[in-house]
Amino acid sequence: MPSNIRYTLLSLRDLAASVGPFALLTVLLLALTYWWLDPNPPKRVVLATGPAQSAYDEFGKRYADALKRYGITVELLPSQGSSANLELLRTGKADLGFVQGGSADIGYDDEESISSLGSLFVEPLWLFYREDSAVRLHQQTTIQSLGDLVGWRVNVGTAGSGVPRLFTTLLDVNRIDRQQLTLSELEQTPATVAFLNGEIDAVVFASAPESLMVQMLLQSPGIHLLNFAQSEAYSRRFGYLTPVVMPQGVVDLSKNIPERDMHLVASTTSLLAGAKTHPAILQLFAQTATNLHGGASWFNRAREYPSLEHSEVPISPEAVRAIKNGPPFLQRYLPFWLANLVERMWLAMGLILALALPLSRIVPPLYTFRIRSRVFRWYAELRSIEQRHLDQQDEPTPIDDLLEQLNRLEEKVEQVVVPLSHTDELYALRSNIGLVRKKLTRGK
């Protein structure tokens, strides 16, 4: 091996040995920080949706498709609706879930264990009734208020949907005894089948207009939608309700469906998350919500949703940043996993570097000490040989023995290799060996 390459490799080896402990300490601190912060999200999350063919079910599929490109698998967990979703979040069986405002019993304990990613869309209370039922019971094709439902067979959905609780509240405020109605709690699909077959007079459910069931019933002949003329009054009585208007012709302009503006009461549906859900997952869902729910619909204009208002639990900080500021700066230019890693660890990495920089000042003196120690450690033996020569009166040692020891020392020193920048110290040692040899030779 050429000598210049040999000296270079030697310097690199000594430098690595000097830097190694500090580099190892830095790596260990980074590994500990990575374990503690857990910056990378899990590859699988569970999203509680709702009944089949509901708006929750449809939106769940869209979220799953959107997050697939980030390498996140969204497992959709069907449920009966809002109340069931809230219970799934409480028990940890779901990471996220759609929950309608006012349809579930949210308490103070939920404020610590559950957070919101914002209100996604308005979810009107749809009350569809059969025209022939109105004719049979009221001798007219339409009804005007909830009071006209007395004596009707009405399906209010399953308890897990939260609609029975909401509908009972509306009956109470209208001073209608629920015993005056024949109420059933069938699931949405079988209830709709029974409704279309004439076995039920009316069905009540809360859903976004994107629901296939809503779209179908709005265009079914002989089926009418109740106009909540007092929608503004309902919203004043209940903070979680808001009045909305379905404009004339918005369903089908060519057929002019509906034939007039329809007033409805609606609550906002939020995307809630459990306390243990990874922050990066919250950020991704909030960003996806902006894309999925930011457009115009029947009841809102573009960019009105997702919203940070109408939340019954605290808003997640990740959702606030995503809704107000959009994707983080790094995510616009780097892959998600890398941008997320840097974003969540930059502060910790900065603190570690701030600690490592002062420690790095020890490296140059340590490197110099390692090199010089290869030379200086032989001075002890050289000094011992010289001292024994000076102490001849106390313990006489033959000069030939001392010269033999000196020769062996010189042979060892000739094997010492140091970087070129420190050869002056090596040659100084060899020169000092020569001086001691001369002193011993004069004593023979």
* CA angle (353, 359, 364) in 5-degree steps: 120
192 sits in which H/E element: helix 188-196
**Residue carrying structure tokens 């699909």:** 189
Q: What are phi and psi of 204, to 5 degrees?
A: -125, 130
Residue type, 75: E
The SS3 assignment for 123 reads strand
For 202, the enclosing helix (H) or strand (E) is strand 202-206
Phi, psi for residue 266 in degrees, rounded to 5 = -140, 155
| Minimum mean pLDDT range among 149-158, 365-374, 400-409 | 365-374
Q: How far apart (Å, rounded) are the C-alpha atoms in residues 268 and 293?
A: 12
Q: Which residue has the higher pLDDT, 212 or 417?
A: 212
Looking at residue 24, its amino acid is: L
Q: How many CB atoms lie within 10 A of CB 437?
A: 16
Confidence class of residue 134 from pLDDT cuts 50, 70 and 90? very high
Q: At how many degrees (to 10) do helices 363-390 and 399-414 cross?
A: 160
Whether the CB-CB separation of 102 and 267 falls below 8 Å is answered with yes
Q: Could you tell me which residue, 91 or 373, shows the higher pLDDT?
A: 91
- pTM confidence score: 0.62
Structural domains in the chain plus CATH codes: 97-327 (3.40.190.10), 362-442 (no CATH)
Residue 411 tokens read as 């042979």
Q: Encoding tokens for residue 431? A: 């020169």
State whether residue 170 is helix, strand or coil.
helix
Confidence (pLDDT) at 7: 46
- Residue 38 — pLDDT band, cuts 50, 70, 90? low
Q: Look at the block and give the residue holding tokens 């079988």.
A: 190
Please tell me the predicted confidence (pLDDT) of residue 15. 52
pLDDT in tens, 313-326: 889 888 888 888 87
**In this predicted structure, what is the pLDDT of residue 367?**
63
Predicted pLDDT of residue 396: 61
Higher local confidence (pLDDT), 61 or 206:
61
267: which residues sit within 8 A by CB, 6+ positions away?
100, 101, 102, 103, 122, 123, 125, 166, 206, 240, 241, 242
Residue scoring higher pLDDT (256 or 347) = 256
pLDDT at 337 over 70: no
Q: Beta strands 96-100 and 44-48: pairing type?
A: parallel
Q: Which two tokens stand for residue 244?
A: 């909305």
- Please report how many Cα atoms fall inside a 13 Å half-sphere around the Cα of residue 379, on the Cβ side: 12
- Give the model's pLDDT for residue 279: 85
What pLDDT was estimated at residue 402? 78
Q: What is the dihedral of CA 6, 10, 13, 14, to 10 degrees?
A: -170
Alpha-carbon distance 425 to 373, whole Å? Answer: 10
Structure tokens at 212: 């296939």
* Amino acid sitting at position 381: E
- Give the confidence band of 369 by pLDDT, cuts at 50, 70, 90: low
Do the Cβ atoms of 7 and 35 come closer than 8 Å? no
pLDDT value at position 363?
60
Residue with the bigger pLDDT between 4 and 41: it is: 41
- For position 117, what pLDDT does the model report? 92
Res 297: pLDDT: 82
Task: Indicate whether 342 pLDDT > 60.
Answer: yes
pLDDT, tens digit, 9 for 90 and up, residues 63-119: 999 999 888 899 999 998 888 898 899 899 999 999 987 655 665 566 678 999 998
Mean pLDDT of 293-304: 83
pLDDT for 203: 96
Give Cα 347 to chain centroid, integer Å. Answer: 17
